[in-house]
Structure 1
Amino acid sequence: MRADIVDKVRAAGVVGAGGAGFPSHIKLQFEVTRVLANGASCEPLLAGDPYIMAHQTDRVLSGLLAVMDCTEAPGGTVCLKSKHAQSVAALEEKISANGYTGRIDVFELDDFYPAGDEFILVNEVMGKIVPEGGIPLNVQVVVSNVESLLNISRAMDGHPVTDRYVTVCGEVNQPIVCKVPIGMPVRAAIELAGGPKISDYGIVMGGPMMGRVLQNDSEPVVKTTSGILVLPSNHNVIRGKNRSLDQMRLIAKSACTQCSRCTELCPRYLIGHSLEPHRIMRHLAYTPGMAGEILEDALICCECGVCEKFACPMMLSPREINAAVKRKLLSEGVKREPSREVYQVSRFFNTRKIPLKRLMERLDVSTYDTHPPFYEDEIHIRQVSIPLQQHLGKPAEPVVQVGDKLKKGDLIGEIPKGALGARMHASIDGTVTSVGDHIIITQV
């Protein structure tokens, strides 16, 4: 049974929909004690996961059961916030009606950030601490986003990943949750939401905490795109993500007071990891170059953004600095070994959880928290640009040529032999007009 499920998930190109895009078929090859369905909807404003849990409940539970069967887990837990009452009710009803009680349960989380971080989720639900630099498999747990589970359920029926649920909100005329073809340009998704309400705006792909600012609106929706936020170009979320590393170091040197609030509120530090952002800030501010053992701690940063968007009274950027340091170290092949064997959750953990409403006020995005409806109309798109790298690992290798006629779901990119990767599939019917090393373009 395991081999069959793994093969189907691999063939469908399923990746982690809620994070970095880890190929799902890899984590299914291990035995675990429990599978956690992550529906915590971690980032502010994003509403795709609650919609999926409320309206695709059978698919989510079917995908969860497939993962449980594959990993031989005796139990599974759907994790979501209590505030999503419609989703909680739908899940509990289906669990009872389908006879899953005793095998699958629901765990309700408080409305805090980052509840959806898988390390925090494992600690909340299981009382276990994932080690530094580790993954939930290290404590015999698999965590899978609810959209990934939906895609796994569809994979069992032979359907590849061709679409993505996306929240489009902010300065748009009609905020929406929509299901769009992978490869559709961001501007087309914004048009589905009635277009921008303002002329001078920036676009964040993802959420306001961990998302990235786009350089143009032609970038495509990919398998890991959870949100498209349209914000004024001078909004603090946009400004904070546009600073260079040199600018951030200079500002840190002149303004960082070493108050250590970034460390005291860091979710990783609070579960016992030896990450202390204020020490990294101090080192970079006063040490030339990018060397020093302390910098390796950036490799265990989850880049949640609590340090810079909520904790820092001087509005500095520990998260962006950690991300830049991490990219440099990873490019150099640096690996950080765990610095401790025993982990102890801080006694302040519960009192230092960040209430989501307070976080949205600090971000100045509360006005956009509108619980958007689902876009029901049929979506017509004439061109998609599908990147061959939408996941951790190696890019997919093209298996099509210019001029090939495709049907939605046809294979266009294969995993390189012996490599970590994920397959890519056509998201619309059409003709291949361009094949490159990094992207395939199809037009109707």
Structure 2
Amino acid sequence: MKEIQELRDRIRRLGVVGAGGAGFPTYVKMDEKVDTLILNCAECEPLLKLHRQLLSRRAQEILETLAEIARIVQAKQVVIGIKREYTSTVRELERWKEAFPQIRIHLLDGVYPMGDEIVLIYEATGRVVRPGGLPIEEGVAVLNVETVFNIYRALKEQEPVVEKLVSVVAEVKHPSTVSVPLGTSIREAAEMAGGATLKDPVYLVGGPMMGTVKTAEDVVTKTTNAILVLPREHYLIRKKESNPSIELKRAASICCQCQACTDLCPRHMLGHPITPHLFMRAASNQDFQDNHPFVNTLFCSSCGVCELYACPQELSPRTLMGIYKGGLRKSGVRPPVAEAEPVRAIREYRKLPEERLMARLDLTRYDTEAPLVEETGYQVKEVRIPLSQHIGAPAKVIVRPEEQVEKGQMIAKPDEGLSVGIHASISGRVVSVTETYVTIRSVG
């Protein structure tokens, strides 16, 4: 128990959070209740390559760290969930099988959203996490590859999280995965891959399915996995920038209740009570007699299958459910206690092949090698570091304007509750401190 607490304290102080998704503070997952530890190498979104690249290049360090975490929390099994199509990375893992006999490789189908931890847990263990529940309730902790590498650096090198691997792809000169100082602008991150090849680029940050359109001056955080540089007229950009009120009117006009959105919903297939077609019917008709279709939006993972693949009318269930879900949370409504129905037998036939998804989204032409480049030679002169890059309370600032800081120095300490430390990603002078950001400018 003491060793677990020491591990938790260190990775909390050094700022380790889930390197993707919502940025759940990793120290919370270090728990004696964990009997199964899963390494997620499924690259949930199309075009992302950073996890398989990092695992291939740093296999020994990552496997050593997995084994150490498993020893500390006394996990009974360790599973690497990796898509079988990542052949070079799988071959590298096979080289280490004898050195780490306690670690099992589980090959996954190339379908979306295999990287969703609820889907991955079922695929790797056969366990179903209850609707609205956490993996720890099933004795499982899921960590992605970059998160485990950050734990390795925290344990072995005493290094905090100050950089993020980002796949910068699509309309850039040199599509690649680059290491970016936290707080770097999206435009500068794109410059590390040679810069945009368009005069008016649009930056889709986070992945084509669950990502959002950002401005050039928004910044890279601990959860930024990808930057897609796309033309403004691209289907995904038009879809992401659609007007929700118009989308609701379109739903009222043309939703035919075909149920395709529900039939292809990955969480619905696992027995969770999420039914997008019933939500669309109730929301578009302003029918509040039954509140279940609205409250059940809290079980939606926002994977986007319903909106960007399933709907034959190109309606926007995910976007509209997200608005209702946000309103419920703002009002303090929590997911109701619910049990999952049995996994639907037809699930195996309703998985979404990633290759087909990319073709539907007009992304196949951008599916290039995009190699991992750890040193680009690009020098970032200023960073604007958010104090909240994770679920929970923002970190508490401990530096002042005009103060000189060194790369890796803590600039904001963990606050009370769910919180982690934030550190300077470059050396320089603190030029401003606000409630949400610390800006540092290089003096070089």
- Whole-angstrom CA distance in 2 between matches of 1:409 and 1:326: 37
CA contact (8 A) 1:45 1:369 kept: yes
CA displacement at 1:174 relative to structure 2: 1.1
Which residue pairs with 2:356 in the alignment? 358
1:11: how far off? Answer: 1.3
Partner of 2:311: 312
Residues 20, 222 of structure 2: 8 Å contact kept: no
Task: Give per-residue Cα distances to partners, 1:78-108, cap 9 Å, x unaligned.
Answer: 1111111111111221232xx211x111111
| Deviation >6 Å, runs of 4+ | 288-291
Describe how 1:366-377 pairs up with structure 2 within 5 A. Answer: 366-375=364-373, 376-377=375-376
Percent identity between matched residues is 37
2:166 equivalent to 1:166: yes
Query: How many angstroms does 1:291 deviate by?
Result: 9.1
Judged with a 3 Å threshold, the aligned counterparts in structure 2 of structure 1 residues 290 and 439 are, in CA distance, closer, same or farther, namely farther
Find the aligned partners of 2:283 and 2:160 in 1 and give their Cα distance. Answer: 45
**Equivalent in the alignment of 2:210:** 210
Distance in 1 (alpha carbons) for counterparts of 2:56 and 2:63:
11
Deviation at 1:289, TM superposition (A): 8.3
Q: Aligned to 1:378, what secondary structure does the other structure show?
A: coil
The equivalent residue for 1:5 is 7
Q: In the alignment, residue 160 of structure 1 is paired with which amino acid?
A: P
Q: Separation in 1 of the partners of 2:338 and 2:141? A: 24
Secondary structure, in 3 states, of the residue corresponding to 1:348? Answer: helix
Unaligned runs of 5+ in 2: none
**Shift in alpha-carbon separation, 1:68–1:290, aligned structure 2, 3 A:** farther
Mapped pair 1:152 → 2:154: no
- TM-score in terms of structure 2 length: 0.96
The amino acid of 1:23's aligned partner reads: P
Q: Answer yes or no: is the 8 Å Cα contact 1:397–1:437 preserved in 2.
A: no
Q: CA distance change for structure 1 residues 348 and 160 in 2, over 3 Å: closer, same or farther?
A: same
Pairs within 5 Å for 1:24-103: 24-96=26-98, 99-101=99-101, 103=102
**Greater alpha carbon shift after TM alignment, 52-61 vs 349-358:** 52-61
Q: CA deviation at 1:198?
A: 1.5
**Structure 1 residues 343 and 291, CA, compared in 2 at 3 Å: closer, same or farther?**
closer
Alignment deviations for residues 335-373 of structure 1 (CA, whole Å, 9 cap, x no partner)? 122333x53111111111100110000101110000212
Deviation at 1:191, TM superposition (A): 1.0
SS, match of residue 62 in structure 2: helix
Are residues 1:20 and 2:19 paired? no
Q: Counterpart of 2:397? A: 398
Instruction: Please tell me the root mean square deviation across aligned C-alpha atoms, in Å.
Output: 1.4
| Aligned-partner Cα distance in 1 for 2:162–2:378 | 14
- Count of residues paired in the alignment: 438
Distance 1:298 1:380 in 2: 44
Report the AA paired with residue 435 of structure 1: V
Q: Which residues in structure 2 correspond to 1:319-334 (within 5 Å)?
A: 319-334=318-333
Q: State the match for 2:117 in structure 1.
A: 118
Counterpart-to-counterpart distance in 1, 2:206 and 2:290 = 31
Bigger mean CA deviation after superposition, 36-45 or 50-59? 50-59
Residue equivalent to 1:132: 131
| TM superposition score normalised by structure 1 | 0.96
Q: CA offsets per residue over residues 151-170 of structure 1, 9 Å max, x none?
A: 01111121110111100011
Q: Look up the SS of the partner of 1:297 in the other structure.
A: helix
Aligned to 1:263: 262
Q: Secondary structure at the match of 2:141?
A: strand
Q: CA deviation at 1:195?
A: 1.4
